[in-house]
Amino acid sequence: MSSVLTLIFRLFQFEGTKLHPNVLLMCKLFVILLTSHHIFYKIADPFIPFIPALDTFNDYPNVFKFILRTVYACSAFALMFNIKVRTASIITGLVVILSMIASKPLFSNHTFICGCALFLAGLTNEKEPPYLLIFQLSLVYFGASINKFLDPDWWSGAFMDTWLGSARENPVYLYVSELLPELIFAKLLSYIAMLTEFAVAVLILFKKTRNLTIWFIIIFHTTLFTLTAFRFGHFTESLAIVLLAFLSVPKEQLIINFKVQSQNNLKRFFTFIDLDKKQTWSPLSSENSFWLRLKTKNKIVYNHDALRDIILYTPNFFMIILIIDMAMYVVLYNHRIVLFALNVLFVWTVIIYYLPKHWFERNKT
Amino acid sequence: MKFRVFIGILFLLLQVGSITYARFIPERFFSWAPYDSHTKFEVRVTIDGETLTTEETVARYQYKMKGWEQRSIYNIISLISQYEYTYSKNENAKVIMTYTTNGDEEKTWKFEHE
């Protein structure tokens, strides 16, 4: 029984493997995301494949499908339970990509990014930053921006007007467009999108601008979601998950001191979800002016600064967020406006809570 | 350079190649070009004079055959063409797609076995 429990706990553990804990988190979240979007059942025999030679498998029905499904199930299992994580990540990513290569109708960018990130994650290690994932993200935005720059309909606003005006009949877009000369708002949105994507593609490559770029990405996509109520398949979630790979999680134990009177529930919550036992919680004396302190090798932070970091350094917090997000989608499937409102409220609250306060403090002085 | 880093860079360079190649063809697969055009389209398939329903057409190509397409419409043209040239070589299928991209004038694409 205890060995079964130990195995189950590994689902929620991220330390001690050949991957950075946050990269492993990214991989596990991708497996959950892909599986919940039925990738297992989408894997099928070749149908209109990109490589015509794959049609040969159709002479042996179900062989391709069953082999690929079995490989996916095994590699996803290994990844989720911390068994040969790098190999499992590479194989899972390759299965996802191969399933799309075997079927043009199955191709989607939001699935492709998952496959690419999983494959490249498996080529990283726990010693160096995940440079390959940084380059991958840059490539995504570079491809997107180049394509737009070379399309006259993006410069004229025609695409934006067709998408938001005709296809989605977006009320915000229609209202604002009425107030401005024809296509001005469409052009403005187009130019912002193009420039943002190109800026992200370039700035994410440099360490100095990486954090700022990540904020760009978060705010850009959140604004897009707020304006359109659309996640582009699961592209928005996929991008958010990839960004987890860029977290700088301390390697050493996190020493957390807390005021028992007010923060006991906080301590119980984080202790419960910290299955890596990376956090050491000790009570503070009541004379202290602060209610929370986090000490790592490089810094000591207090109160909300400490809480923000503790959240970021607790991988299972993000597992919980993803599962709640998926559960909300199921529960509120027939109440899309409520679901949208809750999503927007949650995401913007988190953004405002995490906005680097020192940006504004610097401007004040 | 470690072998795994080399493989990773090769993988990324393949994508660079794909993005570059996409500049010379109308399709936009594997080139990170989602939501770059918005096309309203409808596909009608006739086999031996009998027109398929939308559901039958969707089942035939396993992709939506009516509505809005958020990627290049040539992705769908490529899909249909390949199907007809391979799986449907001996059927007398005629395909007509009417479409308008980004609010432009309506166009028609036709496919017929020779």
Q: What are phi and psi of A117, to 5 degrees?
A: -65, -40
Q: Is the dihedral of CA A50, A55, A58, A64 positive or negative?
A: negative
- Inter-chain touch A232–B68, beta carbons under 8 Å: no
Q: What is the DSSP letter of A351?
A: H
Whether A229 and A165 map to the same domain: the answer is yes
The set of long-range contacts for B7-14, using a CB threshold of 8 Å and a minimum separation of 24, is B7/A123, B8/A120, B8/A123, B8/A132, B9/A132, B9/A135, B11/A116, B11/A119, B11/A120, B12/A120, B12/A132, B12/A135, B12/A136, B12/A139
* Minimal-distance CA residue of chain A relative to B34: A109
pLDDT at A365 over 50: no
Whether A89 and A146 map to the same domain: the answer is no
Q: State the Cα–Cα distance between residues A216 and A198, nearest whole angstrom.
A: 11
The residues pairing with B46 across neighbouring beta strands, listed in sequence order, are B51, B94
Q: What is the DSSP letter of A60?
A: S
A72: domain range? Answer: 2-122
Say if B24 is an interface residue toward chain A (CB within 8 Å): no
Cα A127 to chain centroid distance, Å, stands at 22
Q: How does pLDDT run across A54-86, given as a tens digit for each residue?
A: 999 999 999 999 999 999 999 999 999 999 999
Q: How does pLDDT run across B21-38, given as a tens digit for each residue?
A: 999 999 999 999 888 899
Whether A20 and A111 map to the same domain: the answer is yes
Domain tally, chain A: 3
* Minimal-distance CA residue of chain A relative to B103: A162
- Min distance A229 CA to chain B CA atoms (Å): 15
* Minimal-distance CA residue of chain A relative to B9: A132
Nearest to A212 by CA among A199, A224, A225: A199
3-state secondary structure of A336: helix
Residue in this structure with the two tokens 């027939």, named with its chain if needed: A334
User: Which residues in chain B have their CB less than 8 angstroms from residue A139's CB?
Assistant: 12, 15-16, 19, 32
Q: State the Cα–Cα distance between residues A351 and A349, nearest whole angstrom.
A: 5
Q: Is residue A325 part of a domain?
A: no
Q: State the Cα–Cα distance between residues A117 and A122, nearest whole angstrom.
A: 9
- Min distance B49 CA to chain A CA atoms (Å): 25
Q: How does pLDDT run across A221-232, given as a tens digit for each residue?
A: 999 999 988 888
Torsion of CA A245, A248, A251, A256, to 10 degrees: -120
Q: Is residue A301 part of a domain?
A: yes
User: Which residues in chain B have their CB less than 8 angstroms from residue A109's CB?
Assistant: 32-34, 71
**pLDDT bracket for residue B42 (50, 70, 90):** very high
* Minimal-distance CA residue of chain B relative to A153: B102
Q: What is the percentage of chain A residues whose pLDDT exceeds 70?
A: 98
Whether A97 and A196 map to the same domain: the answer is no
Q: How many CB atoms lie within 10 A of CB A112?
A: 21
Residues near A91 by beta carbon (within 8 Å), at least 6 away in sequence: A71, A75, A122
Q: Is residue A327 part of a domain?
A: no
Q: Which among B19, B38, B40 is the nearest to A143, CB-wise?
A: B19
Q: What are phi and psi of A203, to 5 degrees?
A: -70, -25
Q: Is residue A333 part of a domain?
A: no
Whether A9 and A102 map to the same domain: the answer is yes
Longest dimension (CA), chain A: 77
Q: Which of A104, A146, A156 to mutate to test the interface with B (most CBs of B within 10 A)?
A: A104
The residues pairing with B109 across neighbouring beta strands, listed in sequence order, are B97
Q: How does pLDDT run across A117-136, given as a tens digit for each residue?
A: 999 999 999 999 999 999 99
Q: Which among A116, A141, A159 is the nearest to B102, CB-wise?
A: A159
Residue that is last in its domain, among A244, A267, A294 = A244
Q: How does pLDDT run across A206-257, given as a tens digit for each residue?
A: 999 999 999 999 999 999 999 988 888 889 999 999 999 999 899 999 999 9
User: Which residues in chain A have their CB less than 8 angstroms from residue B75's CB?
Assistant: 104, 107
Residues A249 and A20: beta-carbon distance below 8 Å: yes
Q: Give CA separation, A7 vs A80, A211, A225, A279, in Å.
A: 10, 36, 38, 21
What does pTM read for this prediction? 0.94
Q: Is residue A249 part of a domain?
A: no
* DSSP string of A172-217, one letter each residue: HHHHHHHHSSTTHHHHHHHHHHHHHHHHHHHHTTSHHHHHHHHHHH
Q: Is residue A204 part of a domain?
A: yes
Q: Is residue A352 part of a domain?
A: no
- Inter-chain touch B35–A232, beta carbons under 8 Å: yes
Residue that is last in its domain, among A122, A145, A160 = A122
Q: Is residue A297 part of a domain?
A: yes
Whether A67 and A165 map to the same domain: the answer is no
- Inter-chain touch A105–B36, beta carbons under 8 Å: no
